[in-house]
Amino acid sequence: MAHLRYFVVDDQSVWKIDFNGQLYGDFQSEREAVSNAIEKAFSDSMSGHKADILIRDKVTGHFKVAWSYGRG
């Protein structure tokens, strides 16, 4: 079972989802990007994959887990 990671990043005033090195979307808010990433990750998790949504902290640049399915 694959462990998939979706990274939500800000990119010059828009938000994008980085999945496998590809950037997707031009979302107007972090919330919109996270919501879209959760939909994609949830769909993947229904196929038996573990999935995480990670958001880059604007101050530290570190990623934090915002949503997870299939851990443990």
Domain ranges of the chain: 3-69
Residue 59 — very low, low, confident or very high, per pLDDT cuts 50/70/90? confident
Residue 71 — very low, low, confident or very high, per pLDDT cuts 50/70/90? low
The predicted-structure confidence for 3-55, as pLDDT tens digits, reads as follows: 899 999 988 889 999 999 999 999 999 999 999 999 998 888 788 888 999 99
Write out the DSSP string of 33-69. Answer: HHHHHHHHHHHHHTTT-EEEEEEE-TTT--EEEEEEE
The confidence score (pLDDT) of residue 16 equals 95
Segment 42-69 mean pLDDT: 87
> Which long-range contacts link 30-34 to residues 24+ away (Cβ below 8 Å)?
30/55, 33/8, 34/8, 34/66, 34/67
Confidence (pTM): 0.85
| 67: amino acid identity, one letter | W
